[in-house]
């Protein structure tokens, strides 16, 4: 791997790539930091330069990172799998990103994540004292730590949200923070999309927030400040900027987020092909343009965009009528459990069903797992249509087929938790 990166490094330095403004920035504007791992130093001007160029990422304000003395925290909105790679590829300093703990449990990945990259493990969806201690220790050593406060990528370009805990941590760590807006990155490939699009995006680094300013703010005021800066709306940005994101198959995979037809209210009948969305149960047909706007070709309902459609189905699912919806089972492709360091496969052939009070997993052998929402401590989606949850404090990972909608399970769980919380209060 290192030999390959060395060869690529030589290729990039001696090729026409280095004559482009972005690549010249990558080579000439960075100051190497002693703590930057060798792997990162080799990967930045090779693989890093390539993904910035390929995705046409425009960099604004990156000098703030080199001018600020470590330690400090970097925080950004989260829209794309490659967000940490985009930022680190353009960064003049090494950032230790907080990453999903499941990555560290994959065979051969722990050493790479810890030693080659310097990432910090975080169990998504749960309070993790180990992670907080690891971040604190890294900052004490003079490191720069990167966090995505939302904890998960946006599904529709709108903010996923985060709570005041992030502001409390900033207060505890007592270091400056640098906020980064990833503008238009959602358009390059939405979380649900199967194919990349041609387009461009902006990586915008905001001026640092120093400790003297942080000290003057209450936890709530600091939270509101961070939220204002990082609550990035792709819809609002696109209305102003009008960036094009072109692809002949731009809408394929939208079944992962759209699980209800607005015309006939049928479940799991949405089908995508090319740039068109259809319902297999009725005549609804919509088309997505290069600005991510929807146009109704046939049918009664009109939505501005995917975010508007998704917002409607969430609201409808929470209504008295929506609670009676019945979804067909999804084909499962991977069922795992895990301990602190390893993943263990339980099955690759099963069905997953959404019920009113929980989810039911049934293996081909006939063995069943009924996981009531009341007994699930946390539930979050990570890579490849996979949900990760704690049921009776045991960690499970469940992956369904490529175009299945894992999102509806998590949203049903979240609705149940809100209902229970409202009943208690």
Question: Nearest Cα to 400, choosing from 381, 374, 415?
Answer: 381
What is the C-alpha to C-alpha distance for residues 356 and 326, in angstroms, rounded to an integer? 9
Which CATH number belongs to the domain containing residue 72 in this structure?
3.40.1130
pLDDT tens profile 76-115 = 999 998 999 999 999 999 999 987 655 555 555 555 555 5
| 214: in domain | yes
Q: Percent of the chain beyond pLDDT 70?
A: 85
Total domain count for the chain?
3
**Model pLDDT, residue 120:** 79
CA angle 191, 195, 198 (to 5 degrees): 100
Regarding whether 382 and 301 lie in a shared domain, the answer is: no
| 391: in domain | yes
What is the C-alpha to C-alpha distance for residues 246 and 196, in angstroms, rounded to an integer? 9
Q: Which two structure tokens, joined as six digits, stand for 155?
A: 């599904």
| 249: in domain | no
Residues in the chain: 425
**Model pLDDT, residue 30:** 40
Structural domain containing residue 358: 327-424
pLDDT tens profile 47-82 = 899 999 999 999 999 999 999 999 999 999 999 989
**Model pLDDT, residue 198:** 97
Regarding whether 147 and 42 lie in a shared domain, the answer is: yes
Regarding whether 65 and 116 lie in a shared domain, the answer is: yes
**Model pLDDT, residue 42:** 82
DSSP code string of 234-250:
HHHHHHHH----B-TTT
- List Cα–Cα distances, 90 to 83, 85, 154, in angstroms: 11, 9, 22
| 359: in domain | yes
Beta bridge partners of 388: 380, 397
For residues 194 and 252, the answer to whether their CB atoms sit within 8 Å is yes
What is the C-alpha to C-alpha distance for residues 259 and 408, in angstroms, rounded to an integer? 7
Question: Nearest Cα to 201, choosing from 60, 49, 55, 48?
Answer: 55
Beta bridge partners of 362: 351, 368
In the structure, what pLDDT confidence band is assigned to residue 188 with cuts at 50, 70 and 90? Answer: very high
The two counts, helices (H) then strands (E), for the chain are: 16, 19
Q: Is residue 123 pLDDT above 80, yes or no?
A: no
Q: Is residue 32 pLDDT above 70, yes or no?
A: no
| 246: in domain | no
Regarding whether 409 and 342 lie in a shared domain, the answer is: yes
DSSP code string of 394-415:
EEEEEEE-TT--SHHHHHHHHH
Q: Which of 241, 267, 284 is the last residue of a domain?
A: 241
Regarding whether 165 and 29 lie in a shared domain, the answer is: yes
Q: Which two structure tokens, joined as six digits, stand for 51?
A: 């993904």
pTM: 0.86
Q: Is residue 27 pLDDT above 80, yes or no?
A: no
| 247: in domain | no
Regarding whether 138 and 22 lie in a shared domain, the answer is: yes
Neighbours of 170 (CB within 10 A): 24
For residues 354 and 259, the answer to whether their CB atoms sit within 8 Å is no
pLDDT tens profile 375-400 = 999 999 988 899 999 999 899 999 99
| 139: in domain | yes
Q: Is residue 281 pLDDT above 80, yes or no?
A: yes
**Model pLDDT, residue 87:** 96
- List Cα–Cα distances, 338 to 346, 350, 356, 362, in angstroms: 10, 18, 27, 19
Q: Is residue 34 pLDDT above 70, yes or no?
A: no
Q: Which two structure tokens, joined as six digits, stand for 238?
A: 């696109």
Regarding whether 268 and 216 lie in a shared domain, the answer is: no
Question: Nearest Cα to 185, choosing from 201, 166, 198?
Answer: 201
Q: Which of 208, 241, 274 is the last residue of a domain?
A: 241
Regarding whether 262 and 223 lie in a shared domain, the answer is: no
| 248: in domain | no
Regarding whether 52 and 144 lie in a shared domain, the answer is: yes
Regarding whether 278 and 223 lie in a shared domain, the answer is: no
SS3 199: coil
For 332-354, what is the mean pLDDT?
Answer: 91
Which CATH number belongs to the domain containing residue 383 in this structure?
2.30.29.30
Regarding whether 146 and 215 lie in a shared domain, the answer is: yes
10-14, 315-319, 369-373: least confidently modelled range: 10-14
For residues 184 and 237, the answer to whether their CB atoms sit within 8 Å is yes
Q: Which of 215, 241, 267 is the last residue of a domain?
A: 241
Regarding whether 210 and 98 lie in a shared domain, the answer is: yes
């Amino acid at each position: 791997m290192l030999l390959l990166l060395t060869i690529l490094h030589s290729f990039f330095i001696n090729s026409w790539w280095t004559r482009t403004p972005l690549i010249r920035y990558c080579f000439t504007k960075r100051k190497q930091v002693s703590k930057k791992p060798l792997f990162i130093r080799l990967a930045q001007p090779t693989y890093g330069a390539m993904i910035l160029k390929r995705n046409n990422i425009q960099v604004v304000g990156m000098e703030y990172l080199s001018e600020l003395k470590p330690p400090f925290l970097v925080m950004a909105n989260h829209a794309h799998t490659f967000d940490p790679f985009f930022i680190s590829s353009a960064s003049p300093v090494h950032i230790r990103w907080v990453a999903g703990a499941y990555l560290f449990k994959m065979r051969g990945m722990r050493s790479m994540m810890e030693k080659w990259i310097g990432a910090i493990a975080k169990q998504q969806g749960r309070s993790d004292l180990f992670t907080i201690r690891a971040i604190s220790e890294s900052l004490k050593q003079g490191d720069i730590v990167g966090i995505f406060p939302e904890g998960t990528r946006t599904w529709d370009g709108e903010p996923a949200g985060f709570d005041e805990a992030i502001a409390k941590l900033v207060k505890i760590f007592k270091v400056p923070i640098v906020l980064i807006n990833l503008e238009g990155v959602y358009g390059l490939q939405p979380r649900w999309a199967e194919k990349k699009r041609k387009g461009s995006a902006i990586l915008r680094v905001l001026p640092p927030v120093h400790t003297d300013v942080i000290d003057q703010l209450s936890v709530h005021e600091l939270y509101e400040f961070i939220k204002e800066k990082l609550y990035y709306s792709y819809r609002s940005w696109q209305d102003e900027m009008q960036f094009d994101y072109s692809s002949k198959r731009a809408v394929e995979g939208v079944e992962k987020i759209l699980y209800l037809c607005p015309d006939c209210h049928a479940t799991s009948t949405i089908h995508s092909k090319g740039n068109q969305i259809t319902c297999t149960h009725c005549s609804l047909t919509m088309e997505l343009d290069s600005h991510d706007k929807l146009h109704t070709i046939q049918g009664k309902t009109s939505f501005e965009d995917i975010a508007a459609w998704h917002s409607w189905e969430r609201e409808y699912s929470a209504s008295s009528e929506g609670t009676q919806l019945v979804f067909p089972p999804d084909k499962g492709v991977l069922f795992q459990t895990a301990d602190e360091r390893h993943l263990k496969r339980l099955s690759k052939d099963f069905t997953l069903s959404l019920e009113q009070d929980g989810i039911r997993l049934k293996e081909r052998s006939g063995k069943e797992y009924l996981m009531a929402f009341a007994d699930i401590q946390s539930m979050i989606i990570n890579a490849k249509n996979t949900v990760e949850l704690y049921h009776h404090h045991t960690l499970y990972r469940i992956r369904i087929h490529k175009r299945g909608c894992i999102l509806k399970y998590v949203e049903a769980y979240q609705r149940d938790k809100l209902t229970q919380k409202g009943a208690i209060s």
